[in-house]
Structure 1
Amino acid sequence: MRRRHRFIRGHTARITRIAGVDLISEVIRGVRVGSANARLVRQTAPGGVRFAAFDGSGFHIVMTGTCWLIGHGDPVPLRPGDIVLAAAGAEHGLSETPCALPDLPLAEMGPRPPVTRSPAAFEYLCGAYRLEHSRTPQYLRALPDLIAVSPDYDRHPELRSLVDFLAADLSGDRPGSGATLRAVLDLVLVQVLRHWQEQDATSGWPEAAHPGIAAALREIHEHPQRRWTVGRLSEVAGLPRAAFSKLFTTAVGQPPMGYVTGWRLSRAAQLLQETTAPLASIAPKVGYSTEFALSAAFRREYGVSPGRFRSATPPTRRTVEAAPDAEL
């Protein structure tokens, strides 16, 4: 029986499940601040294509034909219905035959190529959130670089419906498709992460190594506005300050206050994008005493002012067909 999930691991997975925190929902909130992109790709050129690493998260869904997922490990065979998740935008490729990743031509970013009706070796849907001004959430960076899932569509018809809906939405100029794209990408990512959790509960999504670390993370997520210090967080965790700091850094991949700052600014970015609240009212909600303090921290993290971040409307790129040099 064919394995129903496979992955190419590029690093050691860290804590990505916290008691009392729905991390899949946090993942979606984290990537939603990026630009949503999707397209249907027909692989008409011989060989395959290589996708450069990027800041964000993306997936491929094989629609017709067979191909191989190429990473920095052994090639993985893919069949129609299989889904590949590049959780943190790792470099990878799709190829007609097994090969080395450097052997594949790099997908050139630029204007869309002309539509072609040439025979395709395989066809796949691509979806991605590109984070131009922020980092991929820690939870996604903690996962294996590439994950290949073979869903049981009979048990999960809702995923089949999502795939069919996305394919139909990308196959023509349908009114409202730009508005629906982000929501559909959200749902596909949720379903892929759920399937992978179901199929391999032991890989990449470990439980918190210490309940105190989980408690501290939960408090940070639920109450970013509090005046957190390492000392106060260690009290929440019920650990001595030095031991807490060491355990937290080992489990999460960054020191406690670095994590607090990143989470506060991520929440600020979400509020800027999803609400019309003024910066002066957002600042205290995410732990900053003034809008000026938040603005300075935000600019350091995202490279733009909060106002420019809010006013920038990410473009939605769509196409019916694309050659291998198409932009995603």
Structure 2
Amino acid sequence: MDLLSEVVRAVRVGSPGSRVVRQYDFQGVRFSAFDGTGFHVVLSGTCWLISEGQEPVGLKPGDAVLITSGAPHGLSHVPCALNDLPSMSMRTTPPRSEPSDFEFLCGVYQLQHGHTPQYLRTLPDLITVSLDYDRYPQTRALIDLLSTDTSEADMGTAATLPALLDLILVHVFRQWHEQRGSAEWPRTDDPEIAAALREIHQNPQRKWTVARLSEMVGLPRTVFARRFTEEVGRPPMSYLISWRLSLGAQLLRETDVTLATIAREVGYSTEFAFSGAFTREYGVSPGRFRRSPATLVPPVD
């Protein structure tokens, strides 16, 4: 199974949004925490990525920031504290004729129900990637296309926006993994825990227990449970439930198969058991979730 594709499919249940943000007399902006996954790509100018508890990171044109699970952050003209930055305004401003000081592209999948999938929350909150446009000119083409499509808001944007967001997320994640020299997903250097994660992702319908997973990777049950929780940040069964429900949400969004079929495919014996677990996780019933398709997030400026 292609885990990167599964990541993109999982976040796609959220509402897509994108905007080119142009800053004049740039002093900085702060983004509040949100449920979802997004990115920024610097188009022109330079800035500092500001986050809580981390040193500022300098960014230049072509650099991207992945916001894996909606952590608060900011972009500033100088290193500073996050709370010193003004909150990002949601109002639309008229275009200006003079060139901007700083310009960046935003893309986001914002969840209306539930939370960012756990396997994304195992990654760093903010990931910076220097995009290699020379080696991967298609990445630049996608970013240019999304920038143009977003700015002009032509007919068909509702169809093209998710496709472009998906492709850019894939390209940025690929380059990050390549630069790190790691193909593991989620991130873990523990081979037994990585093997257990692959089994959970590839075969969620199996009747997994902690005992069965630990036996499969050749570890004592208590040792496996402790190491899994340390590596992933969540106990094995809690992670399994989150992954199953994330797959269920994808199937509800992307297919017309019955609730009973979805329940079986993601590891629940009955649709009632699946419905109860889904409602607890997402705060809405599977039927209501399916009837309320994702809508475009209002643009920011």
Query: TM-score if structure 2 supplies the norm length?
Result: 0.91
2:68 maps to which residue? 87
Unaligned 5+ segments in structure 2 are none
SS at structure 1 position matched to 2:142: helix
Paired-residue identity, %: 58
Please, which of 72, 78, 85 is the counterpart of residue 97 of structure 1?
A: 78
- Pairing 1:294–2:294 present: no
Going from structure 1 to structure 2, the CA distance change for 1:317 and 1:264 (only over 3 Å counts) comes to closer
Q: CA deviation at 1:138?
A: 2.8
SS at structure 2 position matched to 1:171: helix
SS at structure 2 position matched to 1:281: helix
C-alpha distance in structure 2 between counterparts of 1:176 and 1:316, whole Å: 12
Q: CA deviation at 1:37?
A: 0.8
2:9 maps to which residue? 29
Going from structure 1 to structure 2, the CA distance change for 1:291 and 1:101 (only over 3 Å counts) comes to same
Going from structure 1 to structure 2, the CA distance change for 1:46 and 1:223 (only over 3 Å counts) comes to closer
> Does the CA-based 8 Å contact 1:87-1:146 persist in structure 2?
yes
1:250 maps to which residue? 230
Please, which of 271, 283, 290 is the counterpart of residue 251 of structure 2?
A: 271
C-alpha distance in structure 1 between counterparts of 2:115 and 2:245, whole Å: 11
Structure (1 or 2) with the greater helix fraction: 2
1:283 maps to which residue? 263
For 1:81, the aligned partner's letter is G
C-alpha distance in structure 2 between counterparts of 1:232 and 1:152, whole Å: 43
C-alpha distance in structure 1 between counterparts of 2:202 and 2:238, whole Å: 17
SS at structure 1 position matched to 2:43: strand
SS at structure 2 position matched to 1:40: strand
C-alpha distance in structure 1 between counterparts of 2:272 and 2:48, whole Å: 50
Going from structure 1 to structure 2, the CA distance change for 1:149 and 1:173 (only over 3 Å counts) comes to same
C-alpha distance in structure 2 between counterparts of 1:148 and 1:217, whole Å: 25
Query: TM-score if structure 1 supplies the norm length?
Result: 0.84
Unaligned 5+ segments in structure 1 are 1-20
Please, which of 95, 99, 102 is the counterpart of residue 116 of structure 1?
A: 95
1:268-311 deviation per Cα after TM superposition (whole angstroms, max 9, x unaligned): 11100010111122111111122111111110010000011111
For 2:190, the aligned partner's letter is A
> Does the CA-based 8 Å contact 2:29-2:75 persist in structure 1?
yes
> Does the CA-based 8 Å contact 2:50-2:82 persist in structure 1?
yes
C-alpha distance in structure 1 between counterparts of 2:171 and 2:241, whole Å: 29
> Does the CA-based 8 Å contact 1:143-1:204 persist in structure 2?
no
> Does the CA-based 8 Å contact 1:29-1:270 persist in structure 2?
yes
Q: CA deviation at 1:266?
A: 0.9
> Does the CA-based 8 Å contact 2:26-2:102 persist in structure 1?
no
Q: Which gives a bigger RCO, structure 1 or 2 (Cα 8 Å, sep 6+)?
A: 1
RMSD value, Cα: 2.1
2:194 maps to which residue? 214
For 2:39, the aligned partner's letter is F
- Number of equivalent positions: 298
> Does the CA-based 8 Å contact 2:118-2:242 persist in structure 1?
no
